[in-house]
Chains A and B, each alone.
Chain A
């Protein structure tokens, strides 16, 4: 029932000033929430809700991709050191230890580069260099 005898009721479809103010407050509040959601990059879905499984899968994939970088550096460094020790007939595996550590450093370097690459998919620094090179 539209006209149920409220004191000072408006014609249908019109908003009273208080209602209009409340609506504006709500819309600006919603806009603020959207900005926050956009900045934090969660795009709406809360942790623990549907879509979290996909996030876990993504993180798992990222871990698999990045861990290969670290492992490869250590393995290659260790292999080079071991091979050099064999070749030089060293009594003590000091080259193995040295190259193992260098390999670990190289693995970290790989890891950092891979992580940076994933953060910025199109590598702006590389593009700058290309521009200078031409």
Chain B
């Protein structure tokens, strides 16, 4: 029986090497391309008529847009609405990747820290660049909290570390949730097979099966929730870039 972490192994589908660097097309890459194709394909198909009275598909697309737009408006404000395409893309990409991971036999791209770290670094890079462009050096007031000045000696390094830890917590949160969830699913599902093969113990085999069913439901919830959390935190960090210091 496959081990619990075998599901995360990358398999090379098309070997490819760019000047000595392994750039093979793997199953992870295939699922990322699949997620992008699925999301954009669905949205383009759903919006093909641009009807005033939306069809079912168009309603779903509009609800998703409204959801992301209101999240951005609540967390960043009207000035932040230019980031809706970014947050929408991130949200849909993470959501579709997470959901593709829930399909039996699927591959969870977001359980690879390199993927989540790339997304988090993109977010934090945009926050820094836009913050500097928008507020100039005033952006660094972010690191100067509103405290009596002797405390600044200790508070400024803490604030800087706190800022630097954002991409890490953003990527680790998504990666750890997906990894832990899928390992737990695999282990409890493995118990069913082990118990069935263990003679009289087969009688209690339905127990881990029930737990696996419950965990699957929980994982679908986590998959959606983590995509939402990623989008909300992106908005919270963008808020610093748009409006400047102080939380």
Contacts and interface: CB of A to CB of B under 8 A. Distances in A.
Interface residues of B, number: 31
A73 B161 contact: yes
Given A61-B222, A68-B172, A113-B247, A80 B229 contact: no
A42 B80 CA distance: 36
A76 B246 contact: no
A7 B121 CA distance: 84
A48 to B, nearest CB: 17
B158 A109 contact: yes
B166 interface: yes
Interface in A96-120: 99, 102-103, 105-107, 109-110, 113, 117
Interface in A15-35: none
Interface stretch (B21-29, B82-90, B236-244): B236-244
A106 B236 CA distance: 17
Interface in A110-134: 110, 113, 117, 121-123, 125-127, 129-130, 133
Interface residues of A, number: 33
B176 interface: yes
Nearest to A122: B74
B162 A109 contact: yes
B221 interface: yes
Given A126-B239, A127-B77, 8 more contacts: A64-B180, A69-B169, A75-B168, A76-B164, A105-B154, A122-B74, A125-B247, A129-B246
Interface of B: 74-75, 77, 154, 157-159, 161-162, 164-166, 168-169, 172-173, 176-177, 180, 214, 218, 221-222, 225, 229, 236, 239, 243-244, 246-247
